[in-house]
Structure 1
């Protein structure tokens, strides 16, 4: 099997909600595999967004750390409407780090932590 590198997201009880939310946001998204524990939390899941595979779990051990914006998911959007739609959905219940705007390096850009704490950068390329 060839070496692969896959983003891995660790939640504490929100993995199913995050998985459902993320795969509902992107048109080319799917749950590839999902294994649950007897208490119905996610033991291990693989999902795909725009061809990129991710893994996620619900940790059954509490951790004193969470997600950080020092690593984020960068989405190159195809239209201003897509940037606006994704930003609004991801910002709901989350935190805006950089509001939607023109920062010179992108036609429209925004950075947000979603309600699960995962950080997203949304960019519309310059024409």
Structure 2
């Protein structure tokens, strides 16, 4: 749930960044509904072949995304992993830089520019 109408920008970034990703369905707020016209009421999309849903919150609230919940994505290719990590890190906050942490040859954790938390891992 994004605030300030940022869901579309986040979706644009994610769909352009992750392989096997596409928009499945999007419903936007229209005149007379609680959200600003054109913002996302609900969007269903896939990233790396997995289905997700997001929305723009029409209500301002004091909470946002937190790294206590993150999306874990595994890559077979170190090049794909590094590319995605670099894109998600831009304007975001690296919590754990890409490195060998013992449980994985290459792992990184980042909060992207929208505050969404991602754990990126190289599959064994």
Higher strand share: 1
Structure 1 residue 27: Cα displacement: 2.1
Which aligned pairs between 1:39-118 and structure 2 lie closer than 5 A? 39-118=37-116
- Structure 2: gaps (5+ residues): 31-36
Paired residues in the alignment total 117
Equivalent in 15, 21, 39 of residue 23 of structure 1: 15
Deviations along 1:47-80, one digit per CA (max 9) or x if unpaired, are 0112211111101100100011011110111111
- Structure 1: gaps (5+ residues): 1-9
Question: Displaced runs of 4+ in structure 1, greater than 4 A?
Answer: none
TM-score computed with the length of structure 2 as normaliser: 0.90
CA–CA distance in 2 between the matches of 1:79 and 1:58?
33
TM-score computed with the length of structure 1 as normaliser: 0.88
1:34 aligns with 2:32: no
